Amino acid sequence: MTQTVLAAESGPRAKRRFDRVHQIINEYGASENALIPILQKVQDEYRYLPEEILTFVATALDLPPATVYGVATFYAQFSLEPKGKHLVKCCDGTACHVRKNQPIIAAIRKKLGLADGRKTTDDHRFTFEVVSCIGACALAPAVVIDGKVYGQMTPEAVIAALDEIDAADKAEAEE
């Protein structure tokens, strides 16, 4: 089974890719109890859970692929699609909704060119998600960018924060 999976992607790059997953599995132990931490670590590495790696993990843990897919699709923290370099989340919990998060969501979608409901920009720089309460209701409406919480957001403030990220990325690219 493992050979079949490896055959789907060949060459040194594919080998390195599976080597890293193999290391992660060794780190946590090849047991069903370790499935969630393994998937979390794999996602940290790749920013999503590639299909062939889910199959590889299932084989290594001796689990039916459907079990691994079931866990990967059940938890909102996991993504089966590639995410962008920067992750932007806008809370749509009750407090944020009441304090007018909708214009903020619209402004982010417009700024990132994701008005059609896509989550990730074509250049894979940004992924935008609307999420449920992030536990920062006192700061509503709240946005999280790359793990940092921005409170009492307005459409203008969120655009300014995204512009800052753009400027930092450009400066980094020029170094």
Q: Which residues bind ligand FES (CB under 6 A)?
A: 91, 93-96, 133-137, 140, 142
Q: Whose CB is nearest to ligand FES?
A: 93
CB-based contact 113:84 (threshold 8 Å):
no
In terms of CB distance, is 36 or 131 closer to ligand FES?
131
CB atoms within 10 A of CB 93: 18
In terms of CB distance, is 60 or 142 closer to ligand FES?
142
In the complex, least distance from residue 130 CB atom to ligand FES, rounded to whole angstroms: 11
62 — alpha (psi -120 to 50), left (phi > 0) or beta? left
CB-based contact 91:141 (threshold 8 Å):
yes
Per DSSP, the three-state class of 141 is: coil
In terms of CB distance, is 34 or 137 closer to ligand FES?
137
In terms of CB distance, is 21 or 90 closer to ligand FES?
90
How many CA atoms lie less than 13 Å away from 73 in the CB half-sphere?
7
In the complex, least distance from residue 29 CB atom to ligand FES, rounded to whole angstroms: 35
In the complex, least distance from residue 68 CB atom to ligand FES, rounded to whole angstroms: 31
